[in-house]
Amino acid sequence: MTKLHLCGFTLIELIMVIVVLSILSAVTISKFPDTDIYDQRYFVDETISSIKYGAKKAKSSGCPVKLTLTSNSFNLSIDPLCSTNFIQTLTLQDQTTLLANSNTVGLVITSTVTEIVFHADFSITDISDTLLNTHPISFTSSQGLNQTLYLDGQTGFIYE
């Protein structure tokens, strides 16, 4: 008579492996850092890049570009007729809208001027056409993120 030799794992062994893996994954996942600081850093970088893009767009198109800031968002707009109506939201070539809302907790944008205009002659003014000297835009968060962007109204230079 032939003896049948079975190979494999029993149901109890398989369940024990699943339980041990579940416990290990629960402990490991809780060790990952909070992603809020990364989201905030991304938003600050996106905002700074968009502000620089708005200034370059004003210089290359010859039309003024308006930057509108709130405590947690920004918007860039342009008037295609080169007046000061600012009716069209600025978009990139792939039609990505340069409008960002920060849904991150604790990130605050601080600027004494909430509507800033970039001109083709490299100047930067407020909405009433008053030339801005070195104007700071600050980004702060409760998690230690603290960065300031400076706009030089006379030269159009934007630096951190």
Per-residue pLDDT of the chain (160 residues; tens, 9 = 90+): 567 767 778 889 999 999 999 999 888 877 777 777 788 888 888 889 889 998 999 999 898 999 988 888 888 888 778 877 777 776 655 555 555 555 556 788 899 999 999 999 999 999 888 999 899 999 998 888 899 999 999 999 999 9
The hierarchical CATH code for the domain 36-159 is: 3.55.40.10
CA 154 to chain centre: 27
Give the start-to-end residue ranges of the domains of the chain.
36-159
